[in-house]
């Protein structure tokens, strides 16, 4: 059945691409101006407009739609993937019901955090807290169902948040199907807090929650530069299931002559055969996406990370999926969405290349 679906996708994709000019103007309404749809795409971008537990600046729930719009400005030539535009890339519709639920519960979370800061009796906030927790569980279940739907059709999934809590359901689905997989996390933060600010499914707890799954053999964190003692204790408890490449250590080694290429070799060597990429945009230098929820000085250029992902593929490891999160469009202009959409395109192409879809 899977082989038959792949054949049908390829035939439809070929028909859709017949009169498409990759050097022309972007077709309105299509991500990156590509002519494909949900039936012909090899890679499906799954938007998850969610930011209920964001603890600093908001706006990441608007990231997926802002990036869809900005994608029209992205040229389709990819130096790392020959004729990448032929692969078949499509972005699912924005789930308006989920976005509305996020907005309602974001307001509840703000009221809860305000009461917490003012030291008000928590008895008055219990119902609010219960509703927030239930809403987050709904989002996780929704993501799981959507991911399963596309995976069962033989398609690849690129999850686009929203805040960094969004990929938990997708990660769990992949870990069920790929025991022994690893997570390569690009981030300024460890995200190993236990129920941060009282929220079980906080964006700051995504990796703490993910590592509860026994199917995940290793978490490799890269670029970490903002963390607390509790997270270091969790790191110690995880033992050989985690490797952390702190931003400070990477930079200081470079000051003494180490190259990024040599450091990438060490990062790749820490990964198992099957790799899931979890990318919080604040792993980059904040000049690139200054409106992200929790920007931190330091970080990487885009090509640092693309080189890393390319080397993961070159090592014959298999990238089974990825997420890109925390892109928040600013009040004026589309700089953040522009950077995010260009990075998303390159990552989708590399996901397809790793899975021989092009």
Domain containing 107: what range? 2-354
Q: Distance between CA 85 and CA 161 in Å, rounded?
A: 23
| pLDDT tens for each residue of the chain, 358 residues long | 678 889 999 999 999 999 999 998 887 778 999 999 999 999 999 999 999 986 556 789 999 999 999 999 999 999 999 999 999 999 999 999 999 999 999 988 888 888 777 776 666 678 888 999 999 999 999 999 999 999 999 999 999 999 999 999 999 999 999 999 999 999 999 999 998 878 899 999 999 999 999 999 999 999 999 999 999 999 999 999 999 999 999 999 999 999 999 999 999 999 999 999 999 999 999 999 999 989 999 999 999 999 999 999 999 999 999 999 999 998 876 899 999 999 999 999 999 999 999 8
For residues 300 and 223, is the Cβ–Cβ distance under 8 A?
Answer: yes
In the chain, which ranges are E strands?
A: 43-48, 89-91, 156-161, 181-186, 216-224, 242-246, 274-280, 318-325
Assign residue 126 the CATH number of its domain. 3.40.800.10
Element spanning 265, H or E: helix 260-269
Number of domains making up the chain: 1
């Amino acid at each position: 059945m899977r082989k038959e679906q792949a054949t049908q996708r390829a035939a439809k994709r070929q028909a859709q691409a017949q009169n498409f000019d990759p050097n022309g103007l972007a077709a309105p309404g299509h991500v990156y101006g590509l002519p494909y749809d949900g039936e012909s795409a090899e890679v499906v971008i799954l938007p998850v407009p969610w930011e209920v537990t964001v603890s600093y600046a908001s706006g990441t729930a608007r990231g997926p739609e802002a990036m869809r719009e900005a994608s029209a400005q992205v040229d389709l030539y990819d130096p790392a993937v020959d004729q990448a535009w032929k692969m078949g890339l499509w972005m699912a519709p924005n789930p308006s019901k989920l976005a509305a639920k996020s907005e309602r519960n974001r307001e509840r979370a703000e009221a809860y955090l305000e009461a917490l800061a003012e030291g008000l009796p928590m008895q008055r906030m219990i119902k609010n807290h219960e509703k927030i927790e239930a809403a987050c569980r709904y989002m996780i279940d929704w993501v799981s169902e959507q991911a399963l739907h596309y995976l069962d059709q033989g398609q690849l999934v690129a999850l686009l948040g929203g805040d960094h809590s969004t990929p938990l359901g997708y990660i769990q689905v992949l870990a069920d199907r790929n025991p022994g997989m690893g997570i390569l996390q690009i981030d300024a933060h460890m995200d190993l807090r236990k129920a941060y600010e009282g929220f079980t499914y906080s964006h700051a707890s995504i990796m703490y929650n993910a590592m509860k799954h026994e199917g995940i053999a290793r978490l490799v964190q890269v670029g970490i530069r903002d963390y607390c003692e509790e997270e270091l204790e969790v790191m110690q408890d995880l033992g050989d299931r985690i490797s952390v490449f702190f931003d400070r250590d990477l930079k200081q080694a470079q000051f003494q002559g180490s190259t990024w290429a040599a450091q990438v070799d060490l990062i790749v060597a820490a990964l198992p055969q099957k790799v899931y990429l979890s990318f919080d945009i604040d792993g980059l230098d904040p000049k690139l996406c200054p409106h992200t929820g929790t920007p931190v000085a330091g970080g990487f250029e885009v090509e640092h990370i693309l080189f890393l992902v390319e080397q993961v593929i070159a090592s014959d490891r298999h990238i089974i999926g990825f997420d890109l999160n925390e892109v928040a469009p600013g009040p004026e202009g589309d700089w953040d969405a522009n950077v995010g959409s260009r990075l998303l395109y390159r990552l989708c192409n590399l996901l397809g290349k790793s899975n021989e879809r092009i």
